[in-house]
Amino acid sequence: MDTKFWSVDKFVTNLEDYPQISEAAALLKENEVVAFPTETVYGLGGNADSDTAVAKIFEAKGRPADNPLIIHIAKKEQLDSFVDGVPEKAGMLMDHFWPGPLTIVFNKKAGQLSAKATAGLSTVAVRMPDHPVALALIKKTGLPIAAPSANQSGKPSPTSAQHVHDDLYGRISGIIDGGATGVGVESTVIDCTGPVPVILRPGGATVEQIEAVVGKVQLDPALADQEIAPKSPGMKYQHYAPNAPLYLVEGSRDFLQELINEKRKLGLKAGVLTTEENVAFFQADAVLGCGSRDKPETVASSLYDTLREFNAKDLDVIFSEVFPRIGVGEAVMNRLMKAAGQRLIKEE
């Protein structure tokens, strides 16, 4: 398949009329799939009303068909066609966070949207991205756009058009390069179909920020217990993994260095994911700094790019320090635990 590549300046006025946006929107209306930037990660978009388009998303990603997709909209009025009512707290969250990195789960109107997009569920996850290119593209199509992250399933999510190109070139119809993303981890997913909102996936909107708007929320038990089936898109299977096995290490820097030394004595090439403050401390075959420990938002924005960078180092094993589960640090640790397949080594 020939994959078109468009470069779009997100600061251009009247983006909807930009030729590249028009061309990409035309492909989406023809039930093709196109990758585009959002403020979190790059998404792989398709017409959410079309079984054909949604099937192309799953095929391009190699994504399991029982994993529902998030629907992206450009204006709240689009909800009227496929959402069965907006609960009060959902409305409060929309007013505060949209556009932004918060996905809200609603009850779905029967018979609306492709059943493949919602994996046959009676609920639908929806967000309004905070990126001018994404909003212009969605408005131009006039469609609800189903869009998971634009990567091959299981790999780190893409935060640049180059990441999308590396994973999906030749498998999709087009890629819009709108520059690097900002938040760096996916949106928070919150279920508002019950009396108390439930966070199904931590992400760019923190628990603290959400509770400041709607009061106390609950966390999905599946976030703490891996034996419980998760309800959120993107949480059921191992994700975000680099090529080499990843292990999280809870303990001192000296303990982490001992683990590295043990592997290297066996003739294995070992890498370490750390923060800028600790890069000079570690001796390994690859030492990559991922933001500042004092600024978890910088760790989040650098995480997937760092995980992908390890793939160019030809390593046998990677160790990562752990991060405080405060603010967006909760999302960072969630993604790292998924990338590591829950492998955690604790210092005694």
Asked, for residue 194, whether it belongs to a domain, the answer is no
State residue 222's pLDDT score: 84
Q: Are residues 30 and 138 in the same domain?
A: yes
Mapped onto helix, strand or coil, the DSSP state of residue 272 is strand
Residue 59's pLDDT is 96
| 10: containing domain | 4-185
Q: Is 187 flagged in the annotation as binding?
A: yes
Q: Is 147 annotated as a binding residue?
A: yes
DSSP string, 273-340: EE-GGGTTT--SSEEEE-SBTTBHHHHHHHHHHHHHHHGGG--SEEEEE----STTHHHHHHHHHHHT
Are 66 and 142 in a shared domain?
Answer: yes
For residue 280, give the CATH number of its domain: 3.40.50.11030
Closest to 24 measured CA to CA, from 1, 40, 47:
47
Predicted TM-score of the model (pTM): 0.93
Determine, yes or no, domain membership for 209.
no
CB 105 within 8 A of CB 124: yes
Asked if the structure places residue 140 within a domain, the reply is: yes
**pLDDT reported for residue 66:** 84
CA–CA gap between residue 80 and residue 21 (Å, rounded): 25
Q: Is 22 annotated as a binding residue?
A: no
Residue-level pLDDT at 188 = 98
Question: Considering the domain boundaries, does residue 59 fall inside one?
Answer: yes
- pLDDT value of residue 340: 95
Asked whether residue 72 is marked as a ligand-binding residue, the answer is yes
343 annotated as ligand-binding: no
Confirm or deny that 14 is annotated as ligand binding. Answer: no
Last residue of some domain: 165, 185, 205? Answer: 185
Tell me: is residue 96 an annotated ligand-binding position.
Answer: no
**Residue 301 in marked binding region:** no
Question: Does the annotation place 18 within a ligand binding site?
Answer: no
Within a domain: 266: yes
The Cα 344–Cα 137 span in angstroms is: 41
Residues 29 and 162 occupy one common structural domain: yes
d(CA 316, CA 204): 31
End of a domain among 138, 164, 185? 185
Q: Which uninterrupted H or E stretch holds 260?
A: helix 253-265
The answer to whether residue 25 sits within a structural domain is yes
312 labelled ligand-binding? no
* 308 carries a ligand binding annotation: no
Q: Tell me, yes or no, whether 269 and 180 share the same domain.
A: no
Task: List per-block mean pLDDT (blocks of 10 residues) for the chain, which spans 348 residues.
Answer: 95 94 98 98 98 97 91 97 97 98 97 95 97 98 98 94 97 97 96 97 97 96 65 60 95 98 98 97 98 94 96 96 94 95 95
Residues 25 and 168 in one domain: yes
Domain stops at, among 158, 185, 212: 185
Identify any residues that bridge with 189 across adjacent strands, giving them in sequence order.
103, 201
* Residue 36: inside a domain: yes
How far does CA 224 lie from the centroid of its chain? 19
In this structure, the answer to whether residues 152 and 12 fall within a common structural domain is yes
Pairing of strands 145-146, 70-72: antiparallel
Q: Are residues 181 and 254 in the same domain?
A: no
The answer on whether 63 is annotated among ligand-binding residues is yes
What confidence score (pLDDT) does residue 283 get? 98
Which CATH number belongs to the domain containing residue 167 in this structure?
A: 3.90.870.10
Whether residue 34 is found in the same domain as residue 116:
yes
State how many domains the chain has: 2
Does residue 232 lie in a domain region? Answer: no
